[in-house]
Amino acid sequence: MDVKTLTFESAPEYRHLEGAPVAFFCAEYAFDEDSSMCAGGLGVLAGDFILESADEGLPFVAIGLWYGGPKSPIRTKEFTLIEKDGVPVVVEVPCGEEVVKARVWAHRFGKSVYLLLLDTNILENSPENQVVTEHLYDSNLETRLKQGLLLGIGGVRLLSQLGITPSIYHLNEGHTAFAGFELIVERMANDGTGNVEAALASIKERVTATKHTIFSIAGFSMDEDKFVLLVGPYCKKNNISVRDIFKLGEDKNVEKVFSTTQFLLNCAQRQNGVSVLHTVFEKLAHPESVLFPITNGVYQKRWQAEAWLRGLKGETRLADETMWEIKQNLRKRLVNFVAKKTGVRLDPDACTIVWARRFTKYKRPKLLFSDPPRLKNLCAHSAKVQFIISGEAHESDVAGQKMVDEIKAITKNPVFNNHVVYLEDYSITVATELALGADVWLNTPERGFEACGTSGMKAGLNGALEASVSDGWINEVDWSNIGFILSENDTAQSVYDTLEKEIIPLFYVRSPKGLPLEWIRRMRDTQSIVESGFTAKRMLHDYLTKAYMVLK
């Protein structure tokens, strides 16, 4: 792809942004089965953001890193190198006393959106720097820091090299914070002054920062000496006080420690969280927080089965019989998918409960198995119920990996045969099949730690009922007589009680025609809630009007 062909063709309402697109920075993106590009919900959300922007015709350029090096056959089929006059564009990024170079892979979505990924696997780099972009969230701190500089400084420099002047820079999590640093450097160079404070005030209006989690792990920290080694030479070259830059990111709780998350927030005029409750708990944890909420949403075309639209046949409302037929077919499809992946044959007509997401402590994946005898009795009940568990932990998350192994062992217990199954190799395809086929979407986080929880939205689009602690987006809806809110105080007991006394009995209450009419009503209401308030279309509009401030 030549630089000259990198143009934005927008919808009429965004014509004024064709020369000034939204620039979206994120450490991960998820579109396909290449797990090297994504660790969890952030990457999937970023993918939904791109797809919705393309549908809307919004001029939008997303910046990220190309993980996996040459071992990415999926992406090399879809991405092309950006070239200028037949020569690959190379971005140079200062990292301490050395310079790391990166080529750029591009993919176009629709006519108005580009995803640009920086790749250090080129011969111009030392062997050590060729693998900087080999692994997402590399466990080596030195490499992780270089990734942050490459994404932030390199991303801003790339846009400048391509002649793109964004109207807004949307920085997601502390991983992207050094984009703010490069914007300050650019501003000071243009102004010809060494005043960091004035440069910061100038660039902030064009920066929006989003925190997607309450945890500090969404960025990284380093002591002052390490920070000086990393960015000191670049500051010196540009006559900038390294101490002034350090102070913008100095951890409020730990002296002489630089936090990329703190730096990110200080560089942005507008700062948001990803649900109303997320901002509340951020305020409790950090009284100085000024985050406002823009609740996440999901890309409907990606996550909702086409059968729901086809079933309308020109009508505005699906008949009860049609809704149930679609759900039964989707459940059977899921059962066949599980059988093919695991060899376990589940019941295509049984109430199917799904717990699927990243394995980490606060999500409490083992909670369902806290009382094995009770779970055994539940599975042996005359009204059939079955459970599918799926998810992975990041390779550097030792505790998460241990939980995965423990869950695998539990599900192989003969007492749970054909009732409880662990689905390995969690991926976009697996997540989609689970969201389409589930009857109930089980969510058991410690309240206050699930910033949003978009997996429940995806399942809800397909008629799954929500059984969840009231956290994240779930807290924004009155689920009375629609879903099932689990107690935050004794969630394990609440899960078992709710399954035994509410969910399973309700699923098997049938009309003379064999339809679970009350269950279908709840399916319909759940779909309506997600479709009307929790799609990527609504989310993007909120960013445009509340954070980007670019609409005329």
User: Of the candidates 33, 260, 45, which has an alpha carbon nearest to the alpha carbon of residue 144?
Assistant: 260
Q: Which SS3 state, helix, strand or coil, does residue 374 take?
A: helix
Q: How close are the terminal C-alpha atoms of the chain, in Å?
A: 32
**CB contact burial 308-323 (16+ within 10 A = b; e otherwise):** beebeeeeeebebebb
Find out whether 304 and 316 touch, Cβ atoms under 8 Å: no
Range of the domain at 457: 300-533
Neighbours of 402 (CB within 10 A): 12
Same domain, 291 and 314: no
- CATH number of the domain bearing residue 209: 3.40.50.2000
Same domain, 285 and 419: no
| Residue indicated by tokens 């406002």 | 292
Same domain, 448 and 412: yes
Q: Which SS3 state, helix, strand or coil, does residue 354 take?
A: strand
Classify residue 512 by its DSSP letter. T
Distance between CA 36 and CA 421 in Å, rounded? 25
Q: Which SS3 state, helix, strand or coil, does residue 162 take?
A: coil
Distance between CA 148 and CA 137 in Å, rounded? 9
Q: 118 exposed, middle or buried (CB, 10 Å; 0-12, 13-18, 19+)?
A: buried
Q: Which SS3 state, helix, strand or coil, does residue 171 take?
A: strand
Tokens linked to 427: 């991926």
Same domain, 264 and 347: no
Same domain, 140 and 161: yes
Same domain, 338 and 189: no
Dihedral angle computed from the Cα positions of residues 439, 445, 451 and 455, in that order, rounded to the nearest 10 degrees? -20
Q: So what's the pLDDT on residue 78?
A: 82
Distance between CA 312 and CA 528 in Å, rounded? 14
Find out whether 18 and 58 touch, Cβ atoms under 8 Å: no
Number of domains in the chain: 2
Same domain, 170 and 189: yes
Classify residue 298 by its DSSP letter. B
> Within the chain, which residues score under 50 in pLDDT?
73
Same domain, 237 and 315: no
Same domain, 132 and 251: yes
**CB contact burial 353-374 (16+ within 10 A = b; e otherwise):** bbbbbbbbeebbbbbbbeeeeb
Same domain, 289 and 375: no
Find out whether 470 and 447 touch, Cβ atoms under 8 Å: yes
Q: In sequence order, what are the beta bridge partners of 271? A: 209
H/E stretch holding 355 reads: strand 351-356
Tokens linked to 38: 């994504």
User: Of the candidates 164, 169, 37, 151, which has an alpha carbon nearest to the alpha carbon of residue 100?
Assistant: 151
Same domain, 293 and 314: no
Find out whether 79 and 116 touch, Cβ atoms under 8 Å: no
Same domain, 442 and 453: yes
CA atoms within 13 A on the CB side of 477: 29
* DSSP, residue by residue, 79-136: -EE-EETTEE-EEEEEETTEEEEEEEEEEEETTTEEEEEEE--STTS-HHHHTTTSST
Tens-digit pLDDT profile for residues 301-349: 999 999 998 877 767 789 999 999 999 999 999 999 999 999 999 999 9
